[in-house]
DNA sequence: CTAATTGCAAAAGCTTTGCAGCGCA
DNA sequence: TGCGCTGCAAAGCTTTTGCAATTAG
């Protein structure tokens, strides 16, 4: 239940926040830029400002509801926090994002951080490549 | 020899390019933003525009002389391509950047990409954490 | 009722681009 | 000599902020 998540985060349950949460939940591609979310809002109703989208997404990030990623390309993308941690593999051609989780890599990172004398807080691993579709198009 | 690298990249050997290359080579912290490079230029002579710094760095990137990273924080940082590939561990507190290379992680990434049906082009692994200095300050 | 929230518009970064003049090859 | 390169200033993009009106609790 959305409203519960919002309240738990200390945020008032307002229409923009509910809508944005729903968009993030139901989006087929759940890595969205602020602009993406804004466009979806426009087509659904058209009463939420872009500034609000940014504010809400930032609040959601602080509340731990979403994660912000800085993939290549200058703008941030946001993703709903559901399920376990994972990393990303992004198609450089079409922008497709797939998620993956690899135990060996996770373990090895802790190891590396310790060896470097760091207390690991977080990490961001993104593999860039060509998805099958794009690879076929380019070769054929 | 700098000039040789430039010519090899099909770039004319001009003063701004030589200077920027030297700055990247001799910088103690060799992950620099365009602004960082620009400031160094100002203190050395003061005749290179910020726009030129961006242009030259972008050209260097295309030529494979430098790599552009999108760490957290909105702006790009550039790093001279010398020696082997490596990943980064960044201090969230003071911004210190350390490099590391881990064979197991490298291998495992190839594996993951293949399993996801991607042709791997590149990858970017950044661990965020607290360096020893910052960890001590925060605990003490 | 009160403080949080919103929309709009304006501003603030970082980065790119247009253009006239300068410099390398 | 010619084209590439440069500096400056202006524009472009994403993101943030100020403010008056609105709304949740």
Which residues of B fall within a CB distance of 8 Å from A127?
109, 112-113, 118, 120, 122-123
Q: In what order do the strands lie in the sheet with A119-130?
A: A97-100, A87-91, A119-130, B119-130, B87-91, B97-100
A74 touches strand C (CB under 7 A): yes
Give the pLDDT score at A26: 93
> What is the chain A residue with the closest CA to B75?
A74
Q: Which residues of A touch B104 (CB under 8 A)?
A: 104, 108
Whole-number mean pLDDT of chain B?
A: 90
Cβ-in-10-Å burial (0-12, 13-18, 19+) of A91 comes to: buried
Interface touch A129/B135, C-beta < 8 Å: no
pLDDT of residue B1: 58
| Lookup result for tokens 């790093």 | B79
Asked if B102 lies within 8 A of A108 by C-beta distance, the reply is: yes
> Is the predicted pLDDT of residue B75 greater than 60, yes or no?
yes
Of all residues in chain B, what percent carry a pLDDT higher than 70?
Answer: 98
Instruction: Answer yes or no: is pLDDT of B84 > 60.
Output: yes
pLDDT value of residue A59: 97
The percentage of residues in chain B with a pLDDT greater than 90, rounded to a whole number, is 63
pLDDT of the residue at A1: 58
Say if residue B14's pLDDT is above 90: yes
* pLDDT of the residue at B24: 95
A109 touches chain B (CB under 8 A): yes
Please tell me which residue of chain B has the smallest CA distance to A117: B132
Q: What is the pLDDT of residue A140?
A: 55
**Any B CB within 8 A of A64 CB:** no
Ranges of residues in chain A with a pLDDT under 70 are 1, 46, 140
Which chain D positions come under 7 Å from a protein C-beta?
4-10, 13-18, 23-25
For the stretch B24-54, what's the b/e string if a residue is b when 16 or more beta carbons lie within 10 angstroms of its beta carbon?
A: beeeeebbbbbebbbebbeeeeeebeeebbe
CA/C1' separation A68–C9 (Å) = 26
Q: Which nucleotides of C are covered by protein (CB under 7 A)?
A: 4-10, 13-18, 23-25
Q: Is pLDDT at B140 greater than 60 in this prediction? A: no
User: What DSSP state is assigned to residue B138?
Assistant: H
Residue at minimum CA to C1' distance from nucleotide C24: B12
Sign (positive/negative) of CA torsion A133, B103, B70, B2? Answer: negative
């Amino acid at each position: 239940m959305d409203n519960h998540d919002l309240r738990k985060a200390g945020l008032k349950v307002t229409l923009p926040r509910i809508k944005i949460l729903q968009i993030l939940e139901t989006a087929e591609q759940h890595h969205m830029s602020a602009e993406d979310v804004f466009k979806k809002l426009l087509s659904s109703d058209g009463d939420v400002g872009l500034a609000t989208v940014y504010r809400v997404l930032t609040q959601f990030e602080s509340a731990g509801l979403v994660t912000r990623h800085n993939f290549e390309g200058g703008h941030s993308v946001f993703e709903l926090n559901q399920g376990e941690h994972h990393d990303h593999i992004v198609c450089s051609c079409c922008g497709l994002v797939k998620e993956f989780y690899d135990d060996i890599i996770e373990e090895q990172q802790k190891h590396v951080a310790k060896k470097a004398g760091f207390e690991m807080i977080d990490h961001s691993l993104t593999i860039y490549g060509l998805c099958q579709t794009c690879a076929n198009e380019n070769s054929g």
